[in-house]
Structure 1
Amino acid sequence: MTKADQWDPSLENIMDACPDAIWEELVWAIGSVPLMAGESSQLPTLWSSNYHLQARHSMRIQCQKWSEMADPESAILGKKPIRLGKRFEQLVNCWFETSHEYTVLAKNIVVQGQKRTLGEMDLILQDNETSEVTHLELACKFYLQASNSRAWSNWIGMDPSDRLDLKLSKLSTQLNLDQTPEAQAILKSEGIQVNAHAAWIKGWFFVHFREARKARLPYHSHHNVSTGWWCTQSEWHTIWQPQVSWIIIPAHHWLRTRHDPIEANMVMTLDDSLNALKKWKHIMVAQVEMRGGLWHEIIRGAIIRDGWPSA
């Protein structure tokens, strides 16, 4: 671990200064570049595309405070296992709850209609300098390019029911939730008046390994977005190299880019990964190298069953 006043605020240097793995996850959730950037009538309103850079500077101060917290993972995530999306939300919540720049007014507000649940507002923030109140929707997604196209509909989750175009459309709908009469009644009872809306979207894009050198990322994706490759189960043997180190990344650690060797699932043989695919429909793997007692990712990949996205 290095002292926070000795590094530039790059993602790697901040992670070097983190006293615990959960803080590295938070650094990625906050300090990595967003999945999407720019303006388009088809995009939901996005949180500031430069906020991750501003946040990295704030982390200089935070690193010292983080080292003083006992059992931070339980404090942030609780004792029970939670799904990855909720894990991401908890990390973002933690950041803003300890921020000097913002005040969290409300989170996870479920809005009920007469016959059904209309939705949930993830986070309501107030800027302490401007007093602006923002309804923030959070998402962390992992999409694979199904064909060599930049169209959003060609970027599909490992679960084929999840697509980039559908998610962006859903986020636009969710951001309008606070304008419904039902949500307005809840907010009024709490003395909250929302005057801004934004989507906070992080994640990874994966291109087929044969297209990796000529990748065409989605329209309006951030130019520095996290990227990797994907292959099918039957193609994995063409990528597998026994002379390098590979790990299987547990689903609840997909936000990490560094891995404790005690927790890491090493891929010692080709069959190790194929056996894992018998248990799960897809797995995330990484080629890694050992530095400072941790496995650092060199490149990340997704292995999916043959026939995806149809099967």
Structure 2
Amino acid sequence: MLHNISRLTLIGLCAISLTFSGCSYIPWIGDDESEEDLAFEQEFGDENASEFDEEQQASSDEDGFFADDESGGVSDDSGFDDSGFDDPEDSGSGGGGFASVNQSAGSNELRTDVETLQAQQEALITRVRELQEIIQTMEPRLTAAQTQLENSMGGVTGQAAEIQPEIERLKSEVSQLNQEISRLKTKEGAMSMASASRSTSRTHSRASRGGSRLPAAYTQALNAYRSGDFDGSILQFQEFSQKSPPSHLKDNILFWIGSNYFKLDMYDDAIAQFQSVIDNYPRGNKVHDSRFMLGVSYFKKGDRGRALDILEAALKTNPPGEVRDKIQKQLMEIK
């Protein structure tokens, strides 16, 4: 019985060794201990030959399976195919059993990768469809917005085209008004010079009717004013006024001194001279001119209201035609 158990144990060990390592790893094949194992079997068999004949007969085939050949290897007659149990050093994959396991694991990993890629592809397809739906939803809105923008731009362009002729017309009117203003200024300057000339002529006429000529000092001071020497003209008129000038020239002296101050932008001094003519010589030949110059001096000084009052009052004093025209034009300019 013990012998039978030992035999089965050895058979199990051999089977395990063959399964995991191949025939080259059988404990008694190719080793020095193999003869001792076989001797142990023979000795153990001789002692129990009579008792275990049947067991030996049943296991004779198994003994033949593990019998030594002449070269110390497994017998070729056993019919055992050890192609699947090659030495790990001779096999490129470390053994057929492990290769099969590795191939199975690799196949599973490949299948998992394919399934992952398919899932990602399906997710991408779903996302693309969602984006297409969004684009299809927004496309009408974009088209409507573009159409509205084009219509708005078209409207602005049309309005600009309609306004352009009006702008050109206004430009033309402004140009004409500027020309008219320039013409009026030129005419006003000419009329002022003519008025001064006529005033001088009347002065000379009165002097002639009085049977006397204008004093040289008076004529010299007036010529200085006309030549633009306003400071010199003021000094000369002041010197002449201190030498007992003719009475009919006293208002003229004050008027021309005031005119010199006006040219020098000394409006307060000019106002004092013109006001003196109005107050002291209300019947003199320079009273109407002094009222006009008084109003203009206040306007130049910046007192627009006082200027309007003086000029409007001057119109009511029935001034000569040339003085009236100047007053009316000045009122239009101030208003």
TM-score range, shorter chain: under 0.3
The alignment's TM-score, normalised by the length of structure 1, stands at 0.20
Which structure: larger Rg?
2
Of Structure 1 and Structure 2, the greater strand share is in 1
TM-score (norm 2): 0.19
